[in-house]
Structure 1
Amino acid sequence: MTRTTITSVTVEPLTIPLLEPFAIATGSVDAASNVLITITLQDGSVGYGECAPFPPSTGESQETALAAARGCAELLRGQNVANWRVLAKLIRSHFYAQATVCTGMEMAILDALTRSYGIPLYTFFGGATSSVETDLSIPLVSPEHGYELAQDAVEKGISSIKVKVGGGLREDVDRVEAIRSGAPHVGLTLDANQGYTPNEALLCLEALNDRDIRPLLLEQPVAKDDFEGLRYITNHTSVPIAADESVSSPADAWRLISMGAVNVINIKLMKSGFVQALDIAALCRSTNTQLMVGAMIESRLAISASAHFVAGLGGFRFIDLDTPMLLAEDPFTGGYEQRGGAYDLSAIKSGLGIERR
């Protein structure tokens, strides 16, 4: 037994209410219904991981994630976290249908390992930078409320707003226009969460262009398996088109890139896990495809992990890691220091730098 051998793995629910319901094209939630994983090593190092299942996107629920995580815990006891890639492969071979559980376990393993090594996780991933700057999302709300939320975002020092669309063209255009009025000097990206047909997506962009609004990005306009629809939109607009739900693996990313179907790939650790996320990022770099990072409804814990990943690798054009700002309470401290939309990791001594309150 070495100092980086796993001596215990605990699994528990992590439920955190939202400040207000968060609605997107595929559903609405009023709480983060997640799972917390804690791994302890022989040398006393403790690593934390979070699973953030979102049924419309991942096909998982808190209940299925809890069950799978408890089964996964039995696999990991007595294993050496220094062999983190081997363990990631082992976990995925048994629980491939529970992607967020695979990610949560990888997260806890890497947190424990880098705490034991005495280095921050972003340094472990390459140390390209020590800070990232996120946007802030506005869900499917009325134009009036969107205007208010946009003004609040500006007051918080946010420099980019992500607007949820895909609920209905007229309402979407009115919402985006109201948000532009509330935050006239802030960059806007759009996320349809599979809510459009290809023609509806182009009509939305055309209607916004008529109002002198050009978004920086349109994310996942069509159903996740409509690769041809993505290509059609990309070929008929100059607005960058991003794939989110369509990409869970390097194979998905390569298919879309080789088709010329998208300009941007959104990496979400909850979909791909760390090992596959590294492969997707390398693929995008080698093909000059722009990189984006996003999240499910995640707490400071999982968002910190994504921030460390992005800071370590560098080169991400779009960063959407705002969900801790949507939660009514925060059960964790550390992970980063926030100023406006900027997450500063430079004070982290080891691992994720996360502690429980």
Structure 2
Amino acid sequence: MDMVKTTIRSITVEPLNIPLREPFAIATGSVMEARNVLIKLTLQDGSVGYGECAPFPPSTGESQSTALAAATGCIDLLIGRDAAQWRILSKLIRSLYFSQMTVCAGLEMAILDALTHSYGIPLYIFFGGASTFIETDMSIPLVTPEHGYELAEEIMARGMKTIKVKVGGDLREDVNRVEAIRSGAPHLGITLDANQGYTPHEALLCLEALDDRDIRPLLLEQPGPKDDLTGMRYVTQHTTVPVAADESACSAAAVAQIIANQSATVINIKLMKTGIVEALDIAALCRASHTQLMIGAMIESRLAISAASHFAAGLGGFTFIDLDTPMLLTEDPFTGGYEQKGGIYQLSETASGLGVTPK
């Protein structure tokens, strides 16, 4: 009987466009809006699950149009299959659409959301129930020092505890931006994200210049090109600031190599890079090797951010949490998933699944 209940009855796929409050510029490109894909999946018992694909061309090599095509291609593949076999379905999707990882992530999200609705449990409990909340930082993109100062004051007023600063452009401008942000929010923690923008030498020069100004970041993320694990290892060996791999950490195999080479001390998991099943494997690899965990996101709405929050809270043990993108959007087309107070996303009110519904 349970087999029938959790059979996938229907799937719909549509574009999800949400403008940003201001342009979000990082070292590899700038975006004006989230151009995502929304998936709605319904089971035989009427349980509905939602998934979001957030392709970000500079990072994922996907676009909204390729994600729409791939997600639509999966409809016939999945209808009539049992959502309870979510690992088998994940493998099936990945075997065909291995270059469209945001689609794999969005479909896994929709399948698990529908399944846990059917089971009557929240997703964070399904993932292990280690915690009922997470606390995110908030990002400041590549802006002028003056604007960085204003944004830092706003972030402090919101009750956040950590600011993530985008760097990886001109070294002097980067250092001035970080210094201005520190002045605007003197007591908040600062993490840096170079998005592959530095050479190993520049990354160390940046940290040295900040050290001269008594600024010690909590983290330096992806200092150089994603394929240059030797360069990242050089940075890691020459600073006591934790170094995180993000774009380099694109699969469980890549993470195994990063850990073996001691190229980074922190791994940034993003569901959009690897999908949920592989993210579980990466988290296990990091735990086994005492490598610190971080969770991040592309330009995602409350829907995908809820999935990442449930994942991180359910597993527990994430040192760095960067799930702020819904705060950068002009509107929130969804409700539920979590209750926000300052940087804290509280999940304990979620009755089942992700608890997210379109407005």
Q: Which residue of 2 aligns with 1:156?
A: 158
Q: Which residue of 2 aligns with 1:270?
A: 272
Q: Which residue of 1 aligns with 2:307?
A: 305
Q: Displacement of 1:279 after TM fit? A: 0.5
Percent identity, aligned pairs only, is 73
In terms of mean alpha carbon deviation, does 247-256 or 203-212 score higher?
A: 247-256
Aligned equivalents of 2:213 and 2:356: distance in 1? 44
Report the AA paired with residue 84 of structure 2: A
Structure 2 length-normalised TM: 0.99
Q: Which residue of 2 aligns with 1:59?
A: 61
| 1:62-101 correspondence runs (5 A) | 62-101=64-103
Report the AA paired with residue 353 of structure 1: G
What do you get for the CA RMSD once the two structures are aligned? 0.5
Q: Which residue of 2 aligns with 1:259?
A: 261
Q: Which residue of 2 aligns with 1:242?
A: 244
Q: Displacement of 1:203 after TM fit? A: 0.2
Report the AA paired with residue 98 of structure 2: Y
Give the 3-state SS of the residue equivalent to 2:4 in structure 1.
coil
Give the 3-state SS of the residue equivalent to 2:93 in structure 1.
helix
Q: Which residue of 2 aligns with 1:233?
A: 235
Runs of 4+ in 1 over 2 A off after TM superposition: none
Aligned equivalents of 1:262 and 1:154: distance in 2? 29
Aligned equivalents of 2:74 and 2:167: distance in 1? 37
Residue deviations 1:161-213, cap 9 Å, x none? Answer: 00000011000000000000000000000000000000000000000000000
Q: Which residue of 2 aligns with 1:290?
A: 292
Aligned equivalents of 1:254 and 1:345: distance in 2? 31
Q: Which runs of no fewer than 5 residues in structure 1 stay unpaired?
A: none
Structure 1 length-normalised TM: 1.00
Aligned equivalents of 1:195 and 1:157: distance in 2? 30
Give the 3-state SS of the residue equivalent to 1:329 in structure 2.
coil
Q: Which residue of 2 aligns with 1:204?
A: 206
Q: Which residue of 1 aligns with 2:351?
A: 349
Aligned equivalents of 1:341 and 1:127: distance in 2? 20
Report the AA paired with residue 130 of structure 1: T
Aligned equivalents of 1:236 and 1:127: distance in 2? 38
Report the AA paired with residue 340 of structure 1: G
Aligned equivalents of 2:313 and 2:75: distance in 1? 29
Q: Which runs of no fewer than 5 residues in structure 2 stay unpaired?
A: none
Aligned equivalents of 1:254 and 1:102: distance in 2? 21
Aligned equivalents of 1:74 and 1:30: distance in 2? 33
Residue deviations 1:41-83, cap 9 Å, x none? Answer: 0000000000000000000000000000000111111111000
Q: Displacement of 1:250 after TM fit? A: 0.9
Residue deviations 1:300-343, cap 9 Å, x none? Answer: 00000000000000000000000000000010000000000000
Report the AA paired with residue 86 of structure 2: W
Aligned equivalents of 1:309 and 1:143: distance in 2? 35
Aligned equivalents of 2:21 and 2:103: distance in 1? 25
